[in-house]
Amino acid sequence: MERAVAPSGWLWAGLVTVVGAFCCLMFESLTAKLQEVFKHLTGRGRLSEQDVAEAARQLRLAFLEADVNLKVVKDFVGSIREQAVGQEVMASLTPGQQVIKIVRDELTILLGGTISDLDIGGPSPAVLMLCGLQGSGKTTTAAKLATHVRRQGAKPLLVATDVHRPAAIEQLKMVAGEVEVPVFDARPTDTPLAIAQAAVKHAESARLSPVIIDTAGRLHIDEAMMAELREQKAALHPSDILLVVDAMTGQDAVKAATEFDQALNLTGFILTKLDGDARGGAALSIRAVTGKPIKFAGIGEKLDAIEPFHPDRMASRIMGMGDVLTLIDRAESAMDAGRAEELERRLRGGRFDLNDFLEQLRQVSTMGPLDQFLEMVPGVAALQRRGSLQVDHDALKRMEAIIQSMTPAERTRPEMIGGSRRRRIARGSGTRVQDVNQLLAQFKQMKQLLGQMAEQERRPGHRARLPFSI
């Protein structure tokens, strides 16, 4: 189906166009192999059982090389093969496309099927326990999660109950200070349970919720740590017990998840460093092995770099189909509402200039690493893997420098920028004349696209659409 462009759609459509001027890490290897399998399937008019068997073998190898749990791979590929040799698929005019749909649907199920939200709607204050081994990113994730729930209208309180690791409480205060989330001022001489109980009591009187507990970690799982966590669970009745897992650790992450789940009956997982895991084995195994959902994914180092985990969107990204809905979410969350409305009025009125273009560039820079952004645009990640598109990671800074080297009049009326002005701008920005020419060409392209959108919107009965379908 196609998704209508909301008013802010003007702006993020512009952002996508800006990104086109710069031309994935996550699941990169797996995605490339899946694309190769699908290319062979769609290149055939009819599929035999032998074709399906060979595709199943290639899928099995691809997922095993991605460090996916062996039993998970067997069940996953077996289900696909069983469905792919069905009469409806084999008799279809496009059996290759049917098999691709089966793989996507099964991959979505493997990743959890549907999004799983936090359970913080009950009695206040809700309590969220974050568990995990040392080095998994638990403390930073606590601050990220607080930032996320605050954007949803909650008033979180952070508390550290790790009295074993030196400066653990101070580390939480430091990251919480960056996002301006309150931290319960505990006495390090208290027991972990006493600290947590005092924090919950304080949150109740201050009307703060949820209380996010950064529990103690260890370099490895031991009974003393588990006993401490079980004690807090029994006394605090947390609405969610979330294990923070480093996705880069592969099957070690799955093993840790299994042991924590057996001890605490987890309600879900938060995967960190998912943006740096080229194979993706942990994400693809952890839900199937434990039966518990992945609720959030850490996608970068910034303290707002956390997203709800959408199995269907992740399945599309793994298969190289892009993820436009997450692209929309990021674009809209990156925009200041007042500035967005003003810029939209300028776009509709045909008054878009290089000052506005610079604003779009700065919006893109707040949306995370460029590789992540590009992999959400359908077809772009495949171009990157084939080498047809090279990402210029310095493009944002270079383009901003070029525009800032222009006079106010030149930014407002770029058509006045002739040869001598272009040479002066290049010298002032430390770039080449070719770079200035390229920026002006990209600006012109974006202005034309937005002008076309405005023209179409004025037509009777028009339903605004993106340059691509969802």
pLDDT score for 317: 76
Percentage of residues in the chain with pLDDT exceeding 70? 73
Using a 10 angstrom Cβ sphere, with 0-12 exposed, 13-18 middle and 19 or more buried, the burial of residue 331 is buried
Residue type, 264: L
pLDDT digit string, tens, across residues 229-288:
999 999 999 999 999 988 877 778 888 899 899 989 999 999 887 765 555 677 788 888
Q: Which two tokens stand for residue 337?
A: 């509402």
pLDDT digit string, tens, across residues 47-85:
777 888 888 888 888 888 888 888 889 999 999 888 887
CB 140 within 8 A of CB 305: no
pLDDT score for 23: 41
pLDDT score for 236: 93
- Phi/psi of residue 298, nearest 5 degrees: -85, 130
Residue ranges and CATH numbers for the domains of the chain are 9-24+351-457 (1.10.260.30), 28-110 (1.20.120.140), 127-309 (3.40.50.300)
Burial 200-235 (b: 16+ CB within 10 A, else e): bebbeeeebbbbbbbbbbbeeeeeebbebbeebbee
pLDDT score for 460: 59
Give yes or no for a cis peptide into 210 (omega within 30° of 0).
yes
CB 250 within 8 A of CB 279: yes
Q: Mean pLDDT, 10 residues at a time, over the chain (470 residues)?
A: 39 50 53 77 72 86 84 90 73 72 88 86 89 87 92 91 81 89 83 92 93 85 86 93 86 86 93 67 84 88 84 80 62 63 70 82 67 58 50 74 94 92 94 90 77 62 42
CB 128 within 8 A of CB 183: no
Q: Which two tokens stand for residue 208?
A: 């703060």
- Rounded CA gap, 186 and 190, in Å? 8
Q: Tokens 């430390």 appear where?
A: 430
3-state secondary structure 288-333: HHHCCCEEEEECCCCCCCEEECCHHHHHHHHCCCCCHHHHHHHHHH
Q: Which two tokens stand for residue 118?
A: 């936090």
- How would you classify the pairing of strands 240-246 and 211-214? unpaired
